[in-house]
């Protein structure tokens, strides 16, 4: 199948120096807002370790999914979103309304992300903007109904993709990481940064 309308892939949108600078910012953020493998409502733990930048960070436990103004482990506010990501959002997503959340997803080992929709935000008019750093991911995207046909796309370090329009509520996930395909991330693995507008504009 073809990818849904509104899905845009920009290969190598970030050059090597920009990628390296972002990884430095992410690793510094994880020192003050440690990545955690959150529990999900059914009780298990996610294989992906997560943290965030911005006024709101995403969190999960047995009570459900939500955005929070503080890190669930430290109780402190999340680090500020780096300017380079704000500029990327203004150029590709919405120049008038900035993002208030940027999820940091750290994939290592056998970590993956099952097919899901991003539905915890207040207004689906705003897209989700995704930045890939480190190892290549096998990304899967389908339609807006679970169980439909899907397509696979490889996302390499420096690639940026946008989920807008029909694709904003498309089911999507990460089947696997191609370990060792990049040496960018200290300790190996892949970092995925997803910018969102979580609260009402």
Rounded Cα gap, residues 52 and 14, in angstroms: 20
- In the predicted model, is pLDDT for residue 158 greater than 80? yes
Non-local CB neighbours of 21 within 8 Å, separated by 6+ positions: 84
Three-state SS at 13: coil
Is the CA virtual torsion 89, 180, 58, 42 positive or negative?
positive
Contact indicator for 185, 135 with CB cutoff of 8 Å: yes
Domain contains 2? no
Domain contains 82? yes
Domain contains 34? yes
CATH number of the domain residue 25 falls in: 2.60.120.590
Domain contains 143? yes
Domain contains 1? no
pLDDT-derived band of residue 42, with 50, 70 and 90 as boundaries?
confident
Q: Please name which of 178, 100, 165 lies closest in space to residue 132, comparing C-alpha atoms.
A: 178
Question: Structural domain of residue 149, as residue ranges?
Answer: 7-196
Q: Domain total for the chain?
A: 1
Domain contains 201? no
pLDDT at residue 163, rounded to an integer = 97
Phi, psi of 165 (to 5 degrees): 55, -135
Q: What percent of the chain has pLDDT over 90?
A: 93
Q: What is the reported pTM? A: 0.96
Beta bridge partners of 114: none
């Amino acid at each position: 199948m073809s990818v849904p309308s509104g899905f845009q892939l920009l290969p190598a949108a970030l050059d090597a120096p920009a990628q390296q600078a972002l990884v430095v910012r992410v690793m510094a953020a994880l020192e003050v807002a440690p990545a955690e493998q959150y529990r999900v409502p059914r009780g298990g733990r996610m294989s992906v370790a997560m943290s965030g930048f911005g006024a709101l960070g995403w969190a999960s436990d047995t009570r459900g999914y939500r955005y929070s103004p503080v890190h669930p482990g430290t109780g402190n506010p999340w680090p500020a979103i780096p300017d380079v990501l704000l500029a990327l959002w203004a150029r590709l997503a919405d120049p008038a309304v900035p993002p208030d959340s940027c999820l940091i997803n750290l994939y290592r080992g056998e970590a993956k992300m099952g097919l899901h929709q991003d539905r915890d935000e207040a207004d689906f008019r705003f897209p989700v903007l995704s930045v890939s750093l480190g190892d290549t991911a096998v990304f899967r995207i389908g339609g807006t109904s679970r169980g439909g046909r899907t397509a696979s796309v490889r996302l390499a370090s420096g690639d940026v993709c946008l989920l807008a329009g029909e694709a904003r509520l498309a089911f999507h996930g990460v089947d696997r990481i191609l370990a060792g395909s990049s040496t960018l991330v200290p300790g190996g693995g892949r970092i995925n940064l997803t910018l969102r507008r979580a609260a009402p504009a």
